[in-house]
């Protein structure tokens, strides 16, 4: 358990997180929904930091970003936001590249932290890491498929 955090600060973070969730429910544009879910991810990480410390905060932040990444890539690359699909331009790929690379590099970190602190079963750790690698490959597959179609 971390150091004592003022309850009022935690409540403010919780309210911001819930407002993000309500925004995600109410906005019509997918890009706005993605931004609202991003607010929820960051707010959840803040709440995790207040309740259980850095391990839960890292898990929720990086894991939440990993959850968001495939859909964000789908919205940006495939462009299903109510507009006609556009040809994928190189700058758009370059814009996404750091996000995808960050996802690849950072994804295993929260699991490593959690498995070090909670689990003594290497088999279940390996299964989790395999699932994780599969999940993080999604945006890259989307990008490659779109690029092949554009070519």
94 binds another protein (CB under 8 A): no
| Strands of 37-149, DSSP E | none
Smallest distance, another protein to C-beta of residue 81, A: 9
Number of residues interacting with another protein: please give it, by CB under 8 A.
Answer: 56
The site string for another protein over 50-69 (x = CB under 8 A, - otherwise) reads xxx--xx--xx--xx-xxx-
Cα separation values, 79 from 49, 74, 76, 91, 136, Å: 34, 7, 5, 15, 20
Q: Do residues 128 and 111 lie in contact, with contact meaning Cβ atoms separated by under 8 Å? A: yes
93 binds another protein (CB under 8 A): no
Cα separation values, 54 from 20, 75, 93, Å: 22, 30, 32
Taking the C-alpha atoms of residue 113 and residue 56, their distance in angstroms, rounded to an integer, is 9
Residues 102-141 that bind another protein (CB under 8 A): 110-111, 114-115, 117-119, 128, 131-132, 134-136, 138
Q: Do residues 79 and 49 lie in contact, with contact meaning Cβ atoms separated by under 8 Å? A: no
- Point out which residues bind another protein (CB under 8 A): 5, 7, 10-11, 14, 17-18, 21-22, 24-25, 30, 33-34, 37, 40-41, 44, 47-48, 50-52, 55-56, 59-60, 63-64, 66-68, 70-71, 73-75, 78, 80, 85, 110-111, 114-115, 117-119, 128, 131-132, 134-136, 138, 142, 145
């Amino acid at each position: 358990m971390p150091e004592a955090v003022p309850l009022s600060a935690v409540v403010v973070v919780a309210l911001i997180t819930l407002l993000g969730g309500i925004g995600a429910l109410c906005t019509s544009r997918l890009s706005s929904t993605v931004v609202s879910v991003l607010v929820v991810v960051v707010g959840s990480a803040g709440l995790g930091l207040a309740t259980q410390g850095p391990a839960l905060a890292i898990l929720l932040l990086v894991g939440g970003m990993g959850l968001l990444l495939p859909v964000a890539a789908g919205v940006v690359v495939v462009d299903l936001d109510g507009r006609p699909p556009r040809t994928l331009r190189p700058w758009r790929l370059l814009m996404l590249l750091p996000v995808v690379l960050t996802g690849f590099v950072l994804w295993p970190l929260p699991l490593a932290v959690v498995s070090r602190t909670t689990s003594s079963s290497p088999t279940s750790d390996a299964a989790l890491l395999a699932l994780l690698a599969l999940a993080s490959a999604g945006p890259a597959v989307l990008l490659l498929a779109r690029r092949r179609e554009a070519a």
